[in-house]
Amino acid sequence: MKQITIISGKGGTGKTTVASNFIKMAHDHIAVDADVDAANLHILLSPQIENREDFIGGAVAVVDENCISCGKCEELCRFDAISNSTENIKIDTLKCEGCGVCEYICPVNAITLQKGKQGEYYTSSTKYCKLVHARLDPAAENSGLLVTRVRNIAEDIAYRENKKLIIIDGAPGIGCPVIASLNGVDYALIITEPTLSGISDFKKIYEVAGFFNIRTFVCVNKFDINIENTELIENFCNSKNIEVIGRIAYDENVPKALARKEFITDYPDSPAAKDIIQLYKKIETQLYN
Ligand code: SF4
Ligand code: SF4
């Protein structure tokens, strides 16, 4: 069983368009939406939820009324998560790493580490394959942990059902969820665009994929909006031995199809659809080898 993660250094490069159309064209596969902070693969795939579970993230410290405001916990919290304003101890749950030091040193046992629900994850059926996806609560942390959770579920299903491929729509950016979506996969496909910010973000995400030593392909989306920048990206890839596997033309039909919740490959004669189909054909032999 092979796994491919489709990533981009930033949002809005067409990553999910490519991922969703790959999912539509593939066979014997499972899909994962690893963009747990802003999942949107479900918009096109219209999943029917078969199983829903709570995501319990890492523990955070909670102070009770026994606190005598001695200030020891504030002094010792190395994550600067505790403040002692107006004699009330407050824990900043976004900064708390759940290390347990405050619970250990509190002289009156006024602190406990508690775990809480931070989101949900789902196993769903779609017209094309099973989809494992998730929703992280607003302001909840640990999206990397949630990505690992959905990937583990997808792997279990794939082994159980003898699937040959997992297609992962990765998170944008270069943070924890991206790292969690790349860890242990066979291939990374970077979707980039020929703008200055696109080039800069592409180089960052390439370094992340390089760290994991993953075989990496690159595709320039909307390549024809700036041919010079497209060539800059492709020359950079050639100098680093990164395989440029395709270009996708700018195509006004893409946002129109999305607005109608349709796949661009439902319109195989449109320029972007032709390029995405071609891209998939090129990569397909690697995926099922
Ligand atoms: S160590 Fe315990 S008693 Fe002291 S301020 Fe912190 S919570 Fe309150
Ligand atoms: S558990 Fe650790 S990180 Fe969280 S408030 Fe206590 S000492 Fe700070």
Ligand 1 pocket, residue 81 CB under 6 Å: no
Task: Compute the average pLDDT of residues 130-150.
Answer: 86
Q: In this prediction, what percent of the chain has a pLDDT beyond 90?
A: 66
Ligand 1 pocket, residue 72 CB under 6 Å: yes
Q: Which range marks the domain in which residue 170 is found?
A: 2-56+119-287
19/105 same-domain check: no
Q: Which of 78, 93, 94, 101 is the best mutation target for the ligand 2 pocket, counting ligand atoms within 8 Å of the beta carbon and taking the most?
A: 101
64/205 same-domain check: no
pTM confidence score: 0.84
pLDDT greater than 80 at residue 151: yes
Residue 139: the pLDDT is: 65
| Ligand 2 closest atom vs CA 98 | 1
Q: Higher model confidence: residue 151 or residue 142? A: 151
Amino acid at 156: D
CA nearest 20: which of 167, 198, 191, 188? Answer: 167
77/13 same-domain check: no
Ligand 2 pocket, residue 96 CB under 6 Å: yes
Cβ burial, residue 267 (10 Å; 0-12/13-18/19+): middle
Task: Compute the average pLDDT of residues 7-22.
Answer: 88
Ligand 2 pocket, residue 77 CB under 6 Å: yes
d(CA 163, CA 287): 12
Among 114, 135, 157, where does a domain finish? 114
Among 114, 132, 149, where does a domain finish? 114
Question: How many structural domains compose the chain?
Answer: 2
Tens of pLDDT, residue by residue over 165-214, are 999 999 877 778 888 999 999 999 999 999 888 888 888 888 888 888 89
Q: Which of 67, 83, 91, 112 is the best mutation target for the ligand 2 pocket, counting ligand atoms within 8 Å of the beta carbon and taking the most?
A: 91
Query: What sign for the dihedral angle of Cα 236, 264, 134, 156?
Result: negative
Give the three-state DSSP class for 111.
strand
Ligand 1 pocket, residue 101 CB under 6 Å: no
64/171 same-domain check: no
85/108 same-domain check: yes
Residue 173 neighbours by CB under 8 Å, 6+ apart: 9, 10, 11
188/219 same-domain check: yes
191/212 same-domain check: yes
**Closest ligand to the CA of 79:** 2
Residue 235 neighbours by CB under 8 Å, 6+ apart: none
